[in-house]
Amino acid sequence: MSTWHEYIQKEATLPEWPYPIRYGEVNEVAADVLVIGGGVAGLQAAISAARKGVKVAVVERGHAKRSGAGGAGVDHWHGAVTNPCSRVTPLMYTNACYDSMQGYTGGHVRYIITSESWDTLQECEKMGVQIRDVNDEFKGADFRDEETKLTFAYDYRSRHVIRVWGYNIKVKVYEEAKRLGVNIYNRMMPTHLLTADGKQGKRVVGATAVDTRTGEFYVFSSKATVICTGGAGRLYDFSPEVTASSSMGNMNAAGVGEAIGWNAGAEFVCMEGSGPGRLSGYAYAPYSMANAHNTYHGTPVVDAEGKEVPWVDAFNRPVKSQQGRFLPSEGQDFILGEGIGISRYLEQFRNNTLIPDLPERIIKGEFKLPLYADMTRLPEVERRNIFGMMVGNEGKTRIPIYDTMTRAGFDPDKDLFQAPVVTPEGYAHANFWSTGVNTPPAIRMLGGGGFLIDWDLRTNLEGLYVGAGGNLFGGGCHGESHTTGRYAGRHAADYAKTAPEPVVDSRQVEAEKSHAYVALKQDKGGNGWKEINAAIARIMRDYCGRYKNEQTLNLGLRLLNELKTTELASAYASNPHELGRLLECHALISVGELAMKSSLARKASNSILDFHRLDYPEMDPPGWNKLLPIKQVDGKVEVRELPLDFHLKPPYASTYEENYRLHCGL
C-alpha cells in the first residue's frame, strides 16, 4: 500500500498511532557538543566538532538525512572566493556586502564565510559531492575553467559563485556525520535550553526535548551547544494546505532556535527587520515556472508573439549580448550574485537583469502576456546547463520539475516554457514564480536579523554558538550555512575540551517537563495547533507588519500574551506529533515578541531594514544608524546600542584579516 488514500479505502478506518507512546519517560544524554538542528549547517557543525575528537549529539526536528532547506539539493554555492579561479578576495566580498547593506549585516560573519567557503566546498567534494565538471559535459564553455573543471554562475569573469551537482549534498554530509560517530536524535522538539543554576543569562549546559513519535522526554547535557535551526517561516504566514505552501521554506522552521536562545538570555540584533514574504505559499512551486533569475539567470524571456524582453546592467544600460548577462559591466568591480542574505546591492555589485519597467511596458501593450522562457535562443551549453545541470540539482527541482517536465515531453531545444500569468507588477523582478505581487501585500517575513555573535560565532552566553543562514546576523544561503556551521562546531569543540562539566539544574528540568506535557491534559474541545499558529501569524501580520507604531506593537504584544495565556494554554494535543507542533507555537510567540520588542526599541524608520514606524516617519535619521542588541535579563527586556562596525572595534582588532587570524582557530 503506497498512499494514505489507499490505506483508508482498504481498511475503512484511520490508522493507529504507529509508535509506542511513552509520555513522561525520561532519557538522559550527555555530550561534549550538542547541535540543535541537523540541516546542512548543523551537520557541518557536528562533523567539525567530531573531527576534534569530542562526543557530539545532534537534535533534529525531522530526519537529518534530508531535512532542512538544503535537504533537496543545491546548484550554486556562494562565497567561494578563495578558489583558484576567483578574482575576488574575502575582503572585497565582505566590503561589498557590508557597504551594500550600509552596515546592517555582520561583516565579521561575511569575512569568516568567504575565508573558508571554498575549503568547506572541497570537503564536501571529498564526501562525494560533485563540484567540478568531471565528465566534461561543458568543455569549452565560457563558465568553465579548463584546468580545474570548475564551473561558475552569475559572473563568469570574477568566478566566485560555483555551480555544483549538489542533489545529494545533504545525504553526503549526513553519511559523513554518521561515519564520524555523531549521535543523531531525529524527530525531536527542543523545548528549552538548560542553563547553569537554571538562570537566564548563565552558561548554557544543554537542552530539553520531546520525541514527537513516542512522546518521551529527553534531557541533553552538554559542555557546548550550537544552534542551527534555520529561520522562522511560519511566523507571519501559515497556510500549509495551500498548494506549494511555504515551499521555499520548511514546515519545521518555527523559530525554535531563536526562541530558546531568547528565553535563555541570548542577545539578538535587527529582529525588527522584515521583508515581503514572497515565498510564502501563494506563489508557485520553486523554479516551476519560467523566469530569468537565480537558477534561470540569463534565460531569454519572450512575449506571446516571440518579442524578446531586453536585459539591462546595474546602471540600467542595455546589455546587448547574451554573454554580457554573465559579465560585470563598465564601472562594476564584480557581481555579487543573488540569494546571499542581503536585500540591497550597491550598483557596483548588482546583477544584470530584465528591464525594470517591464510592468509598464506590459500595460502599454508593448509586451503581450503570457511570457515564456525561450531557451532555444541560448547557446547549447548554456541551455543544457540551465535546464539540465542546474534544474537537475537545485533544491526541490530534480524530481518535481526536471523529471516531471522531461517525462511529459518538454524539450528545451525546441519548446517554450511558460511564465505564470500575474498582474503586470509581478514582472518587476525576474523571479516571476515567487514575486511579492502573487502574495497578499500584508505577508511579511523576518529579514536579516538574528543572534548577535562574536568572532568565534559565540553568543553572549557562555557555551552557546550559532551556525547557519536563517538565524545568524550576517548569514546567507547554502554555502554560507555549511561554512558557518563548520566554524561554529570547531569553536564549540575547542571550548568543550577545556570547559567544566555541565551541571544540569533539576528544578529547571522538572519545570520544563511539566510545561511540555500540559497540552495532553486539555479538553479536546479547545483549539489545536493549526488554529493557534494561524492566530499568531494573523497577529504578526496585523500588528507588526510593514507599517507599525507604538500602539500597534503594544497591542500586538498584548494579543500574543492573551493568546498564550488563554487559547494556547488550553489547546490540546492528541498525539506526540501534535504536541510538538503546539510546543512550536510557544516558540513562535516568543519570536513574535522578540520581533515586536525589537521594533519598539527602534524609534526611527529604516530603509535597509524595510522598517516603517508611522510615529517616526523620517527615514534613516543619522542618530539611529546603529544596532540595538536586545536580550532578556530576569525576564525583563534590555536594549543597548552598538556601532554597526562593532566587529572591528575593541575588544576586537581593527581589521578583518587580523581578527580572522586571531580567532579562526586554525
- Contact positions toward ligand FAD, by CB under 6 A? 36-42, 59-62, 67-70, 74-76, 78, 188-190, 228-230, 248, 250, 252-253, 256, 286, 339, 394-396, 468-470, 477-479, 481
To the nearest whole angstrom, how small is the minimum distance from the Cβ of residue 421 to ligand FAD? Answer: 23
Q: In this structure, which amino acid lies at residue 526?
A: G
Contacts for 640 with CB less than 8 Å, ≥ 6 apart: 628, 629
Closer residue to ligand FAD in complex, CB, 38/556: 38
State the Cα–Cα distance between residues 70 and 394, nearest whole angstrom. 9
To the nearest whole angstrom, how small is the minimum distance from the Cβ of residue 9 to ligand FAD? Answer: 32
Closer residue to ligand FAD in complex, CB, 228/594: 228
DSSP code, position 177: H
The distance in angstroms from the start CA to the end CA of the chain is 53
Closer residue to ligand FAD in complex, CB, 445/557: 445
Residue (of 67, 73, 64, 2) closest to 401 by Cα position: 73
Closer residue to ligand FAD in complex, CB, 426/469: 469
Exposure string of 341-373, with b = 16+ CB inside 10 Å and e = fewer, is bbbebbebbbbbbbbeebbebbeeeebeeebbb
To the nearest whole angstrom, how small is the minimum distance from the Cβ of residue 219 to ligand FAD? Answer: 15
Closer residue to ligand FAD in complex, CB, 190/198: 190
State the Cα–Cα distance between residues 358 and 427, nearest whole angstrom. 6
* Residue 376: how many other CB atoms lie within 10 Å: 15
Residue (of 477, 612, 620) closest to 547 by Cα position: 612
Closer residue to ligand FAD in complex, CB, 297/663: 297
To the nearest whole angstrom, how small is the minimum distance from the Cβ of residue 395 to ligand FAD? Answer: 3
Closer residue to ligand FAD in complex, CB, 167/646: 167
State the Cα–Cα distance between residues 399 and 410, nearest whole angstrom. 14
Q: Are strands 56-59 and 183-185 parallel, antiparallel or unpaired?
A: parallel
Residue facing ligand FAD at closest CB distance: 39
Residue 505 and residue 198 in contact, taking contact as beta carbons nearer than 8 Å: yes
State the Cα–Cα distance between residues 136 and 127, nearest whole angstrom. 21
Closer residue to ligand FAD in complex, CB, 329/343: 343
Q: In this structure, which amino acid lies at residue 83?
A: N
To the nearest whole angstrom, how small is the minimum distance from the Cβ of residue 52 to ligand FAD? Answer: 20
Beta strands of 443-521 (E only): which ranges?
444-446, 450-451, 464-466
Q: In this structure, which amino acid lies at residue 584?
A: E
To the nearest whole angstrom, how small is the minimum distance from the Cβ of residue 490 to ligand FAD? Answer: 16
Q: Using CB atoms within 10 Å of the CB of residue 283, give its burial: 0 to 12 exposed, 13 to 18 middle, 19+ buried.
A: buried
Closer residue to ligand FAD in complex, CB, 69/177: 69
State the Cα–Cα distance between residues 555 and 542, nearest whole angstrom. 10
- Residue 15: asked if its preceding bond is cis (omega within 30°), the reply is no
To the nearest whole angstrom, how small is the minimum distance from the Cβ of residue 73 to ligand FAD? Answer: 7
Exposure string of 44-77, with b = 16+ CB inside 10 Å and e = fewer, is bbbbbbbbbebbbbbbbbbebbebbbbbbbbbbb
Closer residue to ligand FAD in complex, CB, 262/646: 262
To the nearest whole angstrom, how small is the minimum distance from the Cβ of residue 304 to ligand FAD? Answer: 29
To the nearest whole angstrom, how small is the minimum distance from the Cβ of residue 161 to ligand FAD? Answer: 9
Which whole-number Å values give the CA distances from 456 to 108, 226, 244, 608, in the listed order?
10, 12, 38, 26
3-state secondary structure of 151: strand
Closer residue to ligand FAD in complex, CB, 397/659: 397
To the nearest whole angstrom, how small is the minimum distance from the Cβ of residue 553 to ligand FAD? Answer: 26
Contacts for 572 with CB less than 8 Å, ≥ 6 apart: 519, 520, 522, 523, 524, 526, 527, 528, 578
To the nearest whole angstrom, how small is the minimum distance from the Cβ of residue 67 to ligand FAD? Answer: 3
State the Cα–Cα distance between residues 374 and 369, nearest whole angstrom. 14
Q: Which H helix or E strand runs over 29?
A: strand 26-36
Exposure string of 443-464, with b = 16+ CB inside 10 Å and e = fewer, is bbbbbbbbbbbbbbbbbbbbbb
Q: What ranges in 336-434 are assigned the alpha helix state H?
A: 358-363, 380-384, 391-393, 404-407
To the nearest whole angstrom, how small is the minimum distance from the Cβ of residue 1 to ligand FAD? Answer: 27
Closer residue to ligand FAD in complex, CB, 337/556: 337
3-state secondary structure of 580: helix
To the nearest whole angstrom, how small is the minimum distance from the Cβ of residue 249 to ligand FAD? Answer: 7
To the nearest whole angstrom, how small is the minimum distance from the Cβ of residue 470 to ligand FAD? Answer: 5
To the nearest whole angstrom, how small is the minimum distance from the Cβ of residue 254 to ligand FAD? Answer: 6
Residue (of 505, 467, 445, 470) closest to 192 by Cα position: 505
Q: Which residue's C-alpha cell is 490540546? A: 572
Closer residue to ligand FAD in complex, CB, 412/450: 450
Closer residue to ligand FAD in complex, CB, 41/283: 41
To the nearest whole angstrom, how small is the minimum distance from the Cβ of residue 62 to ligand FAD? Answer: 4
State the Cα–Cα distance between residues 580 and 211, nearest whole angstrom. 8
Closer residue to ligand FAD in complex, CB, 548/581: 581
Q: Are strands 450-451 and 353-354 parallel, antiparallel or unpaired?
A: unpaired
Closer residue to ligand FAD in complex, CB, 61/350: 61
